[in-house]
Structure formats: structure tokens, C-alpha cells
């Protein structure tokens, strides 16, 4: 399913990360597809959908029935000191479980669309892009590795947070913690499907841009370029834009909920930390280290999600920039000039961008605004509950 793009150390780790995400998604029931190696296509499996629903429903049930907050004295001290914190924590628990349920159900519900979209990516890979060298596309490998590492760090961070805050370990605690880890892993892997697909779209757009640059260099050196080559690249670019828009429409609600969860967790984490360290005047050196690493990993994962979409959007802007280089070439063939003009007009009317829920485009500018907004909500929360701190 994943063709090795090179024999180097980086490419091997990239291939291993992709396979790990695939097999992990199969095990946790968030990828209800089987791969037909003969036709090189994915096929939706109703049995895998049933397996995923039952398995993840069991995870949610175990998390609810084995709530370990009463075994963590640090949290209970915060709740006894501030009733609002306990109410907010209860609302956040309901929001988190609802987010997990909605994400999984929507992924299963849109599995037909996911199957068609991923199969089209596979078709592009095997029919067109398999003949191009991918050794120079280092950002593809880098972001795949970053995404795989972020999933591992999130799980490790949650384990450190739960184990570091609980001095007493019981069978119920470990059952709840294990179920929570598996449930969060399923959510993170389900969200990574969108980001990995976006990285693949970026790689294919990067190939189109490189081929356009080669055509510019040929024309600058006085060589002949066929207009059919430009038309072919336009056709590929058109399909890639359609795929990116379909990916955004399939995963928009899931991605919005994941990004919102990262920011909400950070806001509430800082709020609880202020109550415990300032209101209760507790000395918590180890807890500070655990809290800071959890906050940092959450923000890094949130920003990585933003940066992946920004990477693909930036590659689309580079396509328009490369097409402008053809203006420096004199005495272009009329048919070739018409093909370049069609490509440029298409890029001016349709851009490679990811629009979520009809509300906002996912890029660095919007990510920065979301981070600032979450900080303002933290200030509002502190001001609202100032007299209880």
C-alpha cells in the first residue's frame, strides 16, 4: 500500500511510520477498510465498521465506569476549594466523550466518501506519480515523522500526567487509564488520517511544481516544450484541488473538534494550576514539570496540525509564482501560451486551501488567532472567578 520512496534512513522511518499508523488504525477500529493488492484499492468492510463501533464503545464505557478522579487527591483539593472548577471539569468530561463519539461516528458514516477519496489518491500514485523521483521531497518525510512522533508524545504525556498526579494505584485506576489511553490513541490516529492525506496532496503538488520549473528551464535554454505537457500537469493539479476540497469536507467537523479540544485542555489546565499553586499555596515542583510538558506537547501538536495545512497551501501559492516565470520567456508557441494562460487562470480562481465548516481557512494566521483567543478565554475565566481564587 505504501511504496517505498527511497532506501535511505529517513525514507525507511517514514515508511515505518505510515505502516504503524495503518496497522494501529486497524487494531483500534478507526480504519474500516481492507486493501486489495490486486486492484490496488481500498474496500469498505462492514465487519470492520461493526468491530470499530463495538471496540470504541467499550473504551468509552470503561472510561466512564472507571473514573479515577476521586483517587487523585490533587484534583479533589482543587474541586473542594473551587466549586466552579469542578463544574467546568464535569462539562469538559462530557464534551470530550461527546467529541470522541461524534468523531468516530462521523468517520464511519462518511466511510464511502473516504474510500473514494483515498482510492483516488492511490490511483494518482500508481498511474502518474510513481514514475517521478521523490528523493528530494524531504518535507513530506519530515512531516510524516513529526505526525507519528506527536501521537506517541501525546500518549506519553497523558500517561505522565495521570501517573504523576496520582499517588495511589489500584486495579480500577489502571483499567481506567488503559481505556483512556486506547480511546485517545484511536482519536489521534483517526485525526492523523486527514493530516497524512494532506501531506500526500502536498507531495503531489510539489511534483507538479518541479515539472513546471523543468519546463521553464527548457524554454530558457531554447528547447521545445509541448503544450500537451502543460495540459497534463493542469489536469493533475485540478484533480489534486478536488481531492483537497473533498478531504476538507469529510474531516472538517473532526478537525475542528480536535483543535478545539487541544485549546480547551490547555485553558483548563492553566486554570486548575493557578487554583492549586496560588489559591491553595501548594509546593509542587514535580507537578510543575509534568504540567509544563503536557502543555507544551499539546501546543506543539495543535501547531503541527496547522502547519501541515499551511504547507499544502504554500505549495499552491508556489504554483502561481512558477507560472509567472513563463512571462520572461519570449516568442512562446501560441498553443503553449494558451495552455499556460489556462493554467494561470485556473490557479487565480481556485486555490489550494482547507476550509473547515464554512467558518475559516486552516493556516498559520488562523492558528495564531485561535491561540490568542484561547488565552483571552483564560483571562475571562480568571476574571469571572477572581474572588474564589
Q: Tens digit of pLDDT per residue, the chain (389 long)? A: 554 455 577 888 988 999 999 999 999 999 999 988 888 889 999 999 999 999 999 998 988 887 665 556 666 666 776 777 778 878 888 888 888 888 888 888 999 999 999 999 888 888 877 766 666 678 898 999 999 999 999 999 888 887 777 666 777 778 888 888 899 999 999 999 999 999 999 999 999 999 999 988 888 887 887 888 989 999 999 999 999 999 999 998 889 888 888 888 888 888 877 877 776 666 666 777 888 888 889 899 999 999 999 999 999 999 999 988 888 877 778 888 898 899 999 988 888 989 888 888 888 988 899 889 888 988 888 888 776 65
With residues binned 3-state (H G I as helix, E B as strand, rest as coil), the percentages for the chain, rounded to 5, are 80, 5, 15
> Dihedral, CA atoms, 209, 217, 138, 42, nearest 10 degrees?
40
DSSP 357: T
Euclidean distance between the first and the last CA atom of the chain, given in angstroms as a whole number: 55
Label the pairing between strands 355-356 and 360-361: antiparallel
- The candidate with the shortest Cα–Cα distance to 245, out of 104, 140, 106, 350, is 350
- The candidate with the shortest Cα–Cα distance to 382, out of 291, 272, 296, 282, is 272
> What are the start-end ranges of the H helices in the chain?
9-28, 46-65, 73-81, 83-109, 111-127, 138-165, 171-220, 227-274, 285-324, 334-349, 364-384
The C-alpha cell 505510515 sits at 18
Alpha-carbon distance 261 to 265, whole Å? 6
The C-alpha cell 474531516 sits at 251
CA 352 and chain centroid, separation: 17
Q: Note the pTM of the prediction, 2 decimals.
A: 0.89
CB 11 within 8 A of CB 4: yes
Amino acid at each position: 500500500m505504501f511504496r517505498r520512496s527511497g532506501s535511505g534512513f529517513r525514507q525507511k522511518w517514514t515508511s515505518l511510520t505510515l505502516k504503524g499508523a495503518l496497522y494501529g488504525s486497524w487494531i483500534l477500529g478507526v480504519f474500516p477498510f481492507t486493501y486489495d493488492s490486486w486492484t490496488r484499492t481500498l474496500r469498505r468492510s462492514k465487519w470492520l465498521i461493526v468491530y470499530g463501533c463495538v471496540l470504541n464503545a467499550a473504551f468509552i464505557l470503561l472510561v466512564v465506569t472507571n473514573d479515577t478522579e476521586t483517587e487523585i487527591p490533587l484534583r479533589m483539593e482543587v474541586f473542594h476549594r473551587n466549586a466552579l472548577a469542578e463544574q467546568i471539569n464535569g462539562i469538559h468530561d462530557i464534551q470530550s466523550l461527546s467529541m470522541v463519539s461524534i468523531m468516530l461516528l462521523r468517520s464511519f458514516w462518511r466511510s464511502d466518501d473516504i474510500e473514494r477519496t483515498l482510492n483516488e489518491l492511490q490511483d494518482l500514485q500508481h498511474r502518474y506519480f510513481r514514475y517521478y523521483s521523490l528523493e528530494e521531497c524531504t518535507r513530506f518525510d519530515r512531516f510524516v515523522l513529526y505526525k507519528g512522533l506527536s501521537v506517541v508524545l501525546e500518549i506519553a504525556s497523558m500517561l505522565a500526567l495521570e501517573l504523576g498526579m496520582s499517588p495511589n494505584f489500584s486495579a480500577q485506576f489502571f483499567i481506567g487509564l488503559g481505556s483512556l489511553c486506547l480511546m485517545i490513541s484511536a482519536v489521534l490516529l483517526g485525526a492523523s488520517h486527514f493530516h497524512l492525506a494532506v501531506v500526500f496532496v502536498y507531495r503531489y503538488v510539489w511534483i507538479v511544481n518541479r515539472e513546471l520549473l523543468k519546463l521553464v528551464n527548457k524554454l530558457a535554454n531554447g528547447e521545445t516544450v509541448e503544450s500537451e505537457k502543460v495540459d497534463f500537469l493542469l489536469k493533475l493539479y485540478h484533480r489534486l484541488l478536488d481531492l483537497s476540497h473533498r478531504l476538507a469536507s469529510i474531516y472538517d467537523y473532526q478537525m475542528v473538534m480536535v483543535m478545539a479540544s487541544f485549546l480547551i485542555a490547555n485553558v483548563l489546565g492553566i486554570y486548575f494550576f493557578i487554583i492549586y499553586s496560588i489559591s491553595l499555596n501548594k509546593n509542587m515542583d514535580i507537578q510543575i514539570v509534568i504540567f509544563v510538558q503536557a502543555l507544551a506537547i499539546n501546543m506543539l501538536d495543535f501547531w503541527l496540525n496547522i502547519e501541515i495545512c499551511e504547507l499544502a497551501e504554500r505549495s499552491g501559492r508556489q504554483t502561481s509564482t512558477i507560472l509567472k516565470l513563463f512571462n520572461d520567456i519570449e516568442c512562446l508557441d501560441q498553443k503553449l501560451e494558451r495552455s499556460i494562460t489556462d493554467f494561470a487562470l485556473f490557479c487565480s480562481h481556485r486555490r489550494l486551501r482547507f476550509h473547515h465548516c464554512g467558518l475559516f481557512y486552516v493556516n498559520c494566521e488562523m492558528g495564531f488567532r485561535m491561540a490568542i483567543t484561547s488565552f483571552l478565554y483564560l483571562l475571562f475565566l480568571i476574571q469571572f472567578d477572581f474572588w474564589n481564587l
